[in-house]
Amino acid sequence: MTFNIALVGCGGMGLRHAHGYVELVKTFGANGAPGVGPVEMIAVCDRHQGPAEKVADLIEEGTGKRPQIFLDYDEMLRDLKGLDAVDIVTDTPMHHRFAITAMEAGLHAMTEKPMGLTLKACRMMRDVADRTGKVIAVAENYRRDPVNRLSRALLDSGAIGKLYFALDVALSSARGGVMHGTVWRAKRDQAGGTVLDAGVHNADMLLYLMGPAASVYAETSTFERQRELRGMESQSPQLAEFYGHRVETGGQKGDMIEHDAADTAFAVVRFGSGAIGQLSLSDTSHGERVGQSSVHGSEGTLIRTPSRSGRPAEIRREGGETIIGDDLLALVPDFSLDAVTAGLWGKDRLGSYDLDFRQTDRKIVAIEYADFAQAAVSGGKPEVGSDEGTAALALAYGVMESGEAGRRVKLDDVVSGAVSGFQNDIDRTMGI
Ligand SMILES: NC(=O)c1ccc[n+]([C@@H]2O[C@H](COP(=O)([O-])OP(=O)(O)OC[C@H]3O[C@@H](n4cnc5c(N)ncnc54)[C@H](O)[C@@H]3O)[C@@H](O)[C@H]2O)c1
């Protein structure tokens, strides 16, 4: 039986999801991915006609079938027949409302990261998923990169011994501009800012590699409160092709935008295992980028490369021994990629790959669709479900909660809502 999906939100990431869907169909054909079966995007929805048309055109060109277009989400749920699930790629404040409405209507829901606007939003989503028995999945992409799969297998196998600490330092410069030229990303009450919007990826990767986090202490700041709204060709040229069609209603290019989301955080994490992590994020590091992603253990250090770059990870040991890329595979003879990832990359064991960002990005989104559909069709769990989505957001918000409170916070308290000082205003403003 075909699993019918509607894509909701046809902006920058929505277009990338459409590419991912086309990649899934082109790679696996009419019968669908192994263990998953056929998936069809029967509708797309955006409140703006232009972006919805653009995404529908792309899907029609890639698959030969044009999805129906809806400009109103509730109307779509009411009128569209045969729908099994929604893929929610709107800006973050709508994720919980759309996912909850979908599950109440008997549909499965996948949301882009972050899973919800706040931890309260995530708890509401999880309660509805539990009550309705519907699948909630989160389209968290970084961990699905084959190089990150290998890194995880290496750490699990003890290739660098007992894990002591991890560094994840991503200090870059937005050159005084609004991230991705999207005004909602400037706003604290819309889960904007690099610490949350980008940091939730770093959080998920740290948890994926190091295991659950127990507590976090952080200093946070908003250094640049007035930022210029620019087009993506000058703000983030690598992503410009995905954002040209979107409609910005929050301002015009050249406007100065009030940026009240945090733009900088320096955090120290204690993992349940006893290991320590350092997470440093900022887009205000002018003239100098600093990036370091590594895991350090009793037998060596794993050096990570940026997710989706295809560049190989590396293990360095005392005495100068270095093991890199495909040579790392010998350390994990039993490691292999899952069938869907292997189908997309053409092999089930690899230490690096040479693809441009576009190709990699769509393969990873294809994996997300397959994982979601497989869980929904089989009654199983997606790899990144509400527990994993909540944990990643709890670490990102834990950083903000700690910065606000000026003390270390326990992640369990962030998940439960016992610590929520930073998020309370957001919940109030957004009517949760
Ligand atoms: N995984 C990643 O690497 C990645 C990258 C970019 C964005 N994202 C996530 O994807 C989501 C979307 O980000 P984006 O950059 O595409 O933002 P965007 O602003 O470009 O797109 C959001 C789209 O949602 C539409 N929308 C908003 N409210 C709507 C409503 N009520 N009904 C119908 N359509 C509505 C908007 O019109 C817009 O086209 C965010 O949650 C973001 O965090 C993830």
- Per-residue pLDDT tens for 203-249? 999 999 999 999 999 999 999 999 999 999 999 998 999 999 999 99
The predicted pLDDT at position 341 comes to: 98
The predicted pLDDT at position 32 comes to: 96
Alpha helices in 157-277 (DSSP H): 199-210, 232-235, 240-243
245, part of any domain: yes
187, part of any domain: yes
Separation CA 350–CA 137 (nearest Å) = 26
Tens digit of pLDDT for each residue in 178-210? 999 999 999 999 999 999 999 999 999 999 999
Closest residue to atom 6 of ligand 1, CA basis:
13
Q: Confidence band (pLDDT; 50, 70, 90) for 352? A: very high
Whose tokens are 């127990």? That residue is 214
Same-domain pairing of 156 and 123:
no
262, part of any domain: yes
217, part of any domain: yes
Q: Confidence band (pLDDT; 50, 70, 90) for 67? A: very high
Average pLDDT, the chain: 97
Burial class (CB in 10 A: 0-12, 13-18, 19+), 346: exposed
266 Cβ contact partners less than 8 Å away, ≥ 6 residues apart: 218, 219, 220, 278, 279, 280
Same-domain pairing of 74 and 97:
yes
Same-domain pairing of 91 and 56:
yes
Atom of ligand 1 nearest to the CA of 111: 41
Residue 95 belongs to domain spanning: 3-142+376-383
CATH of the domain at 333: 3.30.360.10
The number of folded domains in the chain is 2
Same-domain pairing of 192 and 315:
yes
Task: Give pTM, 2 decimals.
Answer: 0.98
Dig out the tokens for 145 from the structure.
Answer: 């990169």
The predicted pLDDT at position 289 comes to: 96
Same-domain pairing of 138 and 160:
no
Same-domain pairing of 138 and 168:
no
The predicted pLDDT at position 344 comes to: 98
Same-domain pairing of 198 and 320:
yes
406, part of any domain: no
User: Is the minimum distance from the CB of 145 to ligand 1 under 6 angstroms?
Assistant: no
Same-domain pairing of 39 and 168:
no
State the distance from the centre of ligand 1 to the C-alpha of 202, rounded, in angstroms: 19
Please check whether residue 273 is in contact with residue 263, taking contact to mean a CB–CB distance below 8 angstroms: no
Same-domain pairing of 164 and 243:
yes
State the distance from the centre of ligand 1 to the C-alpha of 171, rounded, in angstroms: 24
State the distance from the centre of ligand 1 to the C-alpha of 279, rounded, in angstroms: 25
397, part of any domain: no
277 three-state secondary structure: strand
The predicted pLDDT at position 65 comes to: 97
User: Is the minimum distance from the CB of 148 to ligand 1 under 6 angstroms?
Assistant: no
425, part of any domain: no
50, part of any domain: yes
Same-domain pairing of 48 and 90:
yes
Atom of ligand 1 nearest to the CA of 243: 20
CATH of the domain at 10: 3.40.50.720
User: Is the minimum distance from the CB of 9 to ligand 1 under 6 angstroms?
Assistant: yes
State the distance from the centre of ligand 1 to the C-alpha of 112, rounded, in angstroms: 8
State the distance from the centre of ligand 1 to the C-alpha of 31, rounded, in angstroms: 30
Q: Once rounded to an integer, what is the mean pLDDT over residues 360-389?
A: 97
